[in-house]
A = this chain, B = another copy of it.
Amino acid sequence: METHVVNLEAACAALSDLWSPRVVARVGDQYVKVARVQGELVWHAHEHEDELFLVLKGRLRIQLEDGEVSLGPGELFVVPAGVRHNPVAEEECWLALVEPVATRHTGDVVTERTRSIEEQLG
């Protein structure tokens, strides 16, 4: 998957489900994923992994225990390892993620929205 050009918006447009990230590239031990989201995911943390969110379209709020950040197109934020967070989008939002190959989607929490890496690799 790493030897061709990836158009991030087109990759998002090809996703049929919300909250189901799809791996589009790998750089070292990190996956680049795209996702379409709306509503809220779930409060969770990744004990050992940072997670980068880059908004492509729409707006994403990332609730944190001590506040929240709000990202528009072209804006990124890294949730440090161990920090509890909850992504929320009032309207549909398209985003790219960078996180380690080992990262579980919803971190330490398993919900009906949890997706296995096999599902994300499509």
A interface with B by C-beta (< 8 Å): 2-9, 24-30, 32, 49-52, 54, 56, 69-71, 74-78, 80, 98-100
Q: By the criterion CB–CB under 8 Å, are A2 and B78 in contact?
A: yes
Q: Is the CB of B5 within 8 A of A77?
A: yes
Q: A5 contacts B98, CB within 8 Å?
A: no
> By DSSP majority rule, is chain A's interface helix, strand, loop, or mixed?
strand
* Neighbour of A98 across the interface among B6, B49, B56, B98, CB < 8 A: B98
Kindly report how many copies of this chain are found in the complex they form together: 2
Q: Pick the residue among B6, B49, B77 that contacts A6 (CB under 8 A).
A: B77
The reply to whether B75 and A2 contact each other, CB–CB distance below 8 Å, is no
Residues in B neighbouring A26, C-beta threshold 8 A: 50, 78
